[in-house]
Homo-oligomer: A and B are copies of this chain.
Amino acid sequence: MTSFQEYLYQTYITTEPQSLYEPANYMLSLGGKRLRPLVCLAACELFGGKAEQALPAAAAVEWFHNFTLVHDDVMDKAETRRGKVTVHHRYGINTAILSGDVMLVKAYQLLQNYPPELLIRLLDVFSRTAIQVCEGQQYDMDFETTTQVSMPDYLQMIALKTAVLLAASLQMGAIIAQAPTHDAQHLYDFGWHIGVAFQLQDDILDTYGTEQQTGKRVGGDILNNKKTCLLIAALEKADSPSKTELHTWLDNQNPADAEQKIAAITAVFTRTNALDTAQSLMNEHYQKALEHLHQIAVPDQNKQTLRKLAADLMYRKA
């Protein structure tokens, strides 16, 4: 059968104007884990469908994901993505906005490959998810200027920004395989909790991982004063002196004190049990994900692919 990579490559747009489509193809060609399309195919197979049937939906999800990356990079003024120059740095901001727009429409066009009864269900999931992803990005931007972000608000933001798309990718695969609605919902919930757990782990590894694990400088979030689950937990749990210490370091943006700032704030995270809190939350979501997978009425051995994928995401070494 056609592999996802081959199929995706066939969806590249080669018509005119190249000035619009080359940036879109460039973005897609940067690679990435292709996590969302892969779980979409796996979900379809879980319910006895052929992975091939899910290819257009998998590609739609990948085009959509890449559209969000192009626009997010513009908003974040990011210079690199996956080790390469971002679209707006290479082609200009205006073209990045417009190419992103066209990528979103292309995602819808890929879904239009499905017959009417299936299409209407896929669109329902897809559009709702697309809206939620935009909401997540907006909350993320809003949080930068919010003094106090609560843990529930934070969890909602990361769920919207990343977990819902992983969940929707799984649900769409299930819908294509004509899975019973409640099983498709369990798979959605599996993806949702895995997505949240993954983001929490991302926060933890940024401070407690190694550069080898994350590909990023250890303590980068701390230096950027990023409101991660660790910082939010620490601010909620710290006693008065620790809180003062945290705020003093947050106000200190002197590059010369960078290493000292990372060490000091990391120490507060550990001392206030912010690390424990974050790890417990992460494990809680991981366990809930596995419970939802367990609930699905298909033979247990069929779930092996998704279970392994979840474990790989949780226990990533590199």
Contact = CB atoms under 8 A, between A and B. Distances in A.
Interface of A: 16-17, 19-20, 71, 74-75, 94-95, 97-98, 100-102, 104-106, 108-109, 112, 116-117, 119-120, 123-124, 127-128, 130-131, 134-135, 137-139, 141-142
Contacts of A19: 138, 141-142
Contacts of A17: 135, 138-139, 142
A160 to B, nearest CB: 10
Given A20-B135, A95-B138, A120-B119, A127 B112 contact: yes
A17 B119 CA distance: 28
A63 to B, nearest CB: 12
A127 B105 CA distance: 6
Interface centre among A94, A105, A116, A124 (most CB of B within 10 A): A105
Contacts of A123: 108, 112, 119
A117 B106 CA distance: 21
A75 B109 CA distance: 25
13 contacts: A16-B135, A17-B135, A17-B142, A19-B138, A20-B134, A20-B135, A75-B94, A75-B98, A98-B138, A102-B131, A105-B134, A112-B123, A119-B123
Contacts of A142: 17, 19
Given A17-B139, A94-B75, A124 B112 contact: yes
Contact of A119 (B75, B119, B134): B119
How many copies altogether? 2
Nearest to A13: B131
A144 to B, nearest CB: 10
A318 to B, nearest CB: 32
Nearest to A74: B97
A17 B138 CA distance: 7
Contacts of A97: 71, 74-75, 97
- Most chain B beta-carbon neighbours within 10 Å: one of A20, A71, A124: A20
Contacts of A105: 104, 127, 130-131, 134
A289 B159 CA distance: 50
A130 B107 CA distance: 12
A134 B75 contact: no
A71 B123 CA distance: 24
Given A74-B94, A105-B127, A106-B131, 9 more contacts: A17-B139, A20-B138, A71-B98, A75-B97, A95-B138, A95-B141, A109-B127, A109-B128, A112-B127
A86 to B, nearest CB: 14
Nearest to A160: B17
